[in-house]
Structure 1
Amino acid sequence: MPRMITEGIVLKDKVILDGIKQEAETLLHAGPERWDEATIKLKRYFLTDVLDDFIGTSNRSEAIFIAGTLAELAAEFVLRTNNRWIGSSKWIHRSLVEFDVDYAGAFTEAFDLFYTTNDKSKVIHIVEGILEPHGGRLFAGFSLGKGS
């Protein structure tokens, strides 16, 4: 919403709109609320789970849908752990480009390679690279609903 407000064109000028646009710009530049360690751990777990499903399936139809989920979760993880806004649909790509144009290209290329040739290697590499600075894949010792 803040992006839509800052990029929108005012059709009927009212004094109040300048303040709203300024507030939206401030929100955009500040970035989203930072994820705490518990959230990062939870997101690592789910990203690891989907990555393992992707690696483990030999069913092309399943892999296509798993890859879609993996792309969304991986983009969310890399953007949010770098204090960046996320989006959905076309805004995922736009948010990745805004974060790092070269990284967005490599991310897109990895998934395009999978979709066109069934080669999973670059997707796996991208996702493992996203997880690595935060401790890598997470399964061992992880549980929900129990005290640590």
Structure 2
Amino acid sequence: MKNISAQLTERDHQKLDWHKSRILTWMSNVLSVTRAGNHPIRKKEWLDGTEEDIQRLLKRASGIEAIMLQNVGENLLSFLRGEVIMLEVLQKDDILDQSYKNAAETMAMNTHLGDIIKQIAFRFPRMKILELGTGTGSAINTVL
């Protein structure tokens, strides 16, 4: 995030659409809170990390999530500049499909979520639920 923010020019900032502007605002907030030492997860000293540090960590990581993280990181600047579409980046080499095929873990999480929602709905039978999703619909299918 630090490197991406530093590489964006004033012209890049002016060309951002609302969505990309919000992403950049979020990134700036995370960096600011981290610099102040107040982020609940990120450590202040991580801001001193280099690209090589990140590459070393990614090489030790395994699984489709690590590949997705690397691809998003490598394409984030191009995405913010409107040069690539992130969905297309994740669909390249069937990476997104592979992540969805990791169904055993997803189903276990969804089942747990469904159990929690069942308990809440039993306790509050007249509650209203708003579900906003952008994925495959697997969580809402389990809940319903």
* Fold shared by both chains (TM-score > 0.5): no
- TM-score scaled to structure 1, two decimals? 0.28
- TM-score, normalising length: structure 2: 0.29
